[in-house]
Structure 1
Amino acid sequence: MRIAEAGFSLLEMLIALAVGAILMVSVGRFLPLLLEQNLRLQQRVQLQQELQQLSHTLQKALQRAGYCRGQCSGPALTLAAGGSCVLLRWDENSNGRWEDVGSSDSDFYGYRLRSGQLEMQRAVDSCNGNGWERLTDPAFLTIEHFNVVRQGTRLVLHLTGRAGAQSLQVEHWVEGRNL
């Protein structure tokens, strides 16, 4: 009695290899596209997080502007350069006065857009000069637009940022409680 041997013929193996090769070529074409889309999505999410963090920092500063637990004189908020530079004062240590620019406890703060970067400085009463600190990473993020518009005690904050090919705009309304 002879037992039939089970297995694939040479022709069946060649067909299976051809089908497998076609599938591998198809997958090879779509993999770079998937990786590129994944990179774009990661950039967009990181851009959104960066702009939200910057926006939150600016909103807190704008809400604090004008706070004083005593007799403070001078403007609490100054918008310069078409709103792309914001100078603020608030009584951070609650001692009843705004410490001047020359003091180590100065209550003067500034935020400005310069060369595609958002910058901040404490103890500043002008949008010019050196010593400003970047709040953004120029290797990843470029701020294309920063603007604050005052409408009474309401402030409108506009931020537009770019990371690679991704661009995102954020707008927030802030109530200046102490203005």
Structure 2
Amino acid sequence: MLRRGFSLLEMLLALALTSFIMLSIVAFYPKFHMGMMNIYQQNRLEQLTEQALSGLFKDLKRAGFIASSPKDIKQPAITINPSGDCIIIRYDSTISGIWRDHTNLGQRSDVFAYRYYQHNLSAQNGATHCGKAVTRWEKLFDPNEVAVLQFEAKQYRSSTKVTILVGLIRFPSIKYQATYYVRNYNV
């Protein structure tokens, strides 16, 4: 007997099996897509955090450096307020042999301040305190995209501990918390 095609029962079975597979894929895809988007947003938040803190880490590593004798140092290299949300770092950024506290015309200060204020981390060159009235602070995170939920710095003998908790504004469930220990080579 020569067969020329599929029987009706075989066609119905193949159609049912294909329909089951397609329905499974359609039901699984949105969950897969949402999971991939969450992973992407989480990684993006981690990258934004590392990028925003890179300047702070660079300054912490240089804290205390002075081109002349360390006996000339009159202020502490790192000052952290009692609540840990403001850190002031001093180092000789131009290898001039002194720490210049204030920004003068055409000159850069050797004081670098970072503060946690209004759900953001801000930086300013030349600020010797983190008062709320001080102007010219530069926000390190886009306030429309990232909210800093917690920031704390703590000084140890030869390192500084920095703890930060950030979250995405559009995706409140996506948060990133990290603790970094930055070695202070000159303190």
TM-score (norm 1): 0.86
Asked if structure 1 preserves the Cα contact closer than 8 Å seen for 2:101 and 2:128, the reply is no
State the partner residue of 1:120.
123
Matches within 5 A, 1:51-130: 51-70=49-68, 71-80=72-81, 82-103=83-104, 104-128=107-131, 129-130=134-135
What letter corresponds to residue 138 of structure 1 in structure 2? Answer: P
Letter in 2 for 1:150: Q
Greater Rg over alpha carbons, structure: 1
Output the CA distance in 2 between the equivalents of 1:176 and 1:127: 21
Match of 2:83, SS? helix
Query: CA-to-partner distance for each residue in 1:76-127, whole Å, 9 max, x for gaps?
Result: 2221261111111111000111223132311111111122211111121121
2:145 alignment counterpart: 140
Q: TM-score, normalised by structure 2?
A: 0.83
Do the aligned partners of 1:69 and 1:94 also contact (CA within 8 Å) in 2? Answer: yes
- Look up the match of 1:14: 12
1:55–1:159 Cα contact (<8 Å) kept: no
Q: Distance in 2 between matches of 1:101 and 1:79?
A: 19
1:46 aligns with 2:44: yes
| RMSD, matched Cα | 2.1
Q: Unmatched 5+ residue regions in structure 2? A: none
Aligned counterparts of 1:76 and 1:5: Cα–Cα separation in 2: 90
Q: Which moved more, 1:124-133 or 1:136-145?
A: 136-145
Q: How far apart, in 2, do the equivalents of 1:54 and 1:81 lie?
A: 23
- Per-residue CA deviation, residues 25-81 of structure 1 (Å, 9 max, x unaligned), is 111111110011111111222222233334443222112112111234323222126
User: What letter matches 1:86 in structure 2?
Assistant: I
Q: Which amino acid aligns with 1:173?
A: Y
Deviation beyond 4 Å, 4+ runs, structure 1: none
When the two structures are aligned, how many residues end up with a matched partner? 177
Does 2:151 align with 1:150?
Answer: no
| Structure 1: 5+ residue stretches without partners | none
Could you tell which deviates more after superposition, 87-96 or 160-169? 160-169
2: distance between equivalents of 1:102 and 1:50? 29
Shift in Å at residue 5 of structure 1? Answer: 5.3
Q: Give the match for residue 170 of structure 1.
A: 178
CA distance in 1 between counterparts of 2:25 and 2:182 reads 50
Q: For the Cα contact (< 8 Å) 2:66–2:97, is it kept in 1?
A: yes
